[in-house]
Amino acid sequence: MDKRKAGYKEGIVSILLNTLLFIAKLWAGIITGSIALTADAWHTLSDSISSLVVIIGVKLSSQKPDKKHPFGHGRWEQIAALFIAMLLSVIAYDFLKESIIQFNNHKSAQFGIIAIVVTIVSILAKEALAQYAFYLARKTDNVSIKADGWHHRTDALSSIMVLIGILFANKLWWIDSLLGAVISFMLFYATYKIAKEAITKLLGEKPSQELINKITTAVNKLGFNNLQLHHFHIHNYVSRQELTFHIKLDKDLSIETGHKIATDIESLIEEQFGIIATIHIEPSDFEHTSD
């Protein structure tokens, strides 16, 4: 599945549906005086903003490599995900503050059938959007689409909290304030998850043992003797991945032979894994502390 088209598709669907849900939830929140429902409405609108960020991120990351950016622009996806995380954290803080103020003032909300219907529709629609985003993220490995999916999921969960508050509002005057605070902590957790993944990819991560094993197995099938692949490092630019590692060769081999072996391995890795590899050659009897 084309990553750019998937990002555009998910973003546009999200913006349209979230805008409609925002209008409905804000209207219900104003009528009932519910801080949780009103905050939930603005959370929904923030989904439209984050989806717009996804579209912009996909557009920027799809640019081809140039002289200033020889590895492409793929990391714009992580930058977009960080922007979404910051947006979520601001909204979470505002929810928490408003919930505390409402609790201190002993304010309660007055719910009705309209609030119940709007909230149930929101739960179903937001979870459907979350599943759709997660599906596209799995197909394209796009971290910003995945971040948008988490945003949809937290909105669905917060709407469930609001629905619980509606059902118990007559007996517990403070339930609306409590749920507003719960929603804020859910958003803080989503912020942490999104930011952690994006920052990890930006800083660089160790290649998985699964990838190392697959590459080692594929290289060994070429029939070269005892190469002892080690010192793996991967640089993830999203649209392009660079892998470096060391191999050991007989010190009596010619430079030309060593170069051919390394080139054959690099070509194999690019063909089978879509990764650009650079190989450092060492004599077979060489040892260093990290071997």
Tell me, yes or no, whether 215 and 196 share the same domain: no
H or E element, residue 106: none
Q: Are 56 and 12 in contact (CB under 8 A)?
A: no
Q: Given 203, 232, 260, which residue is the final one in a domain?
A: 203
290 in a domain, yes or no?
Answer: no
Residue stretches of the chain with pLDDT short of 50: 291
Tell me, yes or no, whether 30 and 170 share the same domain: yes
pLDDT score recorded for residue 1: 59
Tell me, yes or no, whether 81 and 114 share the same domain: yes
Interval 133-186: pLDDT, tens: 898 888 887 777 787 788 788 778 878 877 887 888 777 778 878 877 887 887
Tell me, yes or no, whether 134 and 258 share the same domain: no
74 in a domain, yes or no?
Answer: yes
Q: Given 203, 230, 252, which residue is the final one in a domain?
A: 203
- Specify the DSSP class assigned to residue 142: -
Nearest to 109 by CA among 166, 150, 62: 166
Tell me, yes or no, whether 71 and 158 share the same domain: yes
Residue 248 backbone phi and psi in degrees, to 5: -110, 135
Nearest to 291 by CA among 234, 230, 233: 230
Tell me, yes or no, whether 82 and 167 share the same domain: yes
Tell me, yes or no, whether 144 and 241 share the same domain: no
Tell me, yes or no, whether 119 and 239 share the same domain: no
Q: What is the CATH number of the domain that holds 160?
A: 1.20.1510.10
* One-character DSSP codes across 223-291: --S----EEEEEEE-SS-EEEEEEEEE-TTS-HHHHHHHHHHHHHHHHHHH--EEEEEEEETT---TT-
Distance CA 84, CA 102 (A): 27
Q: Position 266: which residue type?
A: E
- Specify the DSSP class assigned to residue 173: T
* One-character DSSP codes across 110-127: ---HHHHHHHHHHHHHHH
288 in a domain, yes or no?
Answer: no
Distance CA 31, CA 136 (A): 37
Tell me, yes or no, whether 14 and 116 share the same domain: yes
Tell me, yes or no, whether 214 and 113 share the same domain: no
pLDDT score recorded for residue 266: 93
Interval 183-198: pLDDT, tens: 788 778 878 887 887 7
Q: For 33-53, b where at least 16 C-beta lie within 10 A, e where not — what string?
A: ebbbbbbbbebbbbbbbbbeb
Number of domains in the chain: 2
Q: Which domain holds residue 67?
A: 3-203
pLDDT score recorded for residue 164: 81
Tell me, yes or no, whether 218 and 174 share the same domain: no
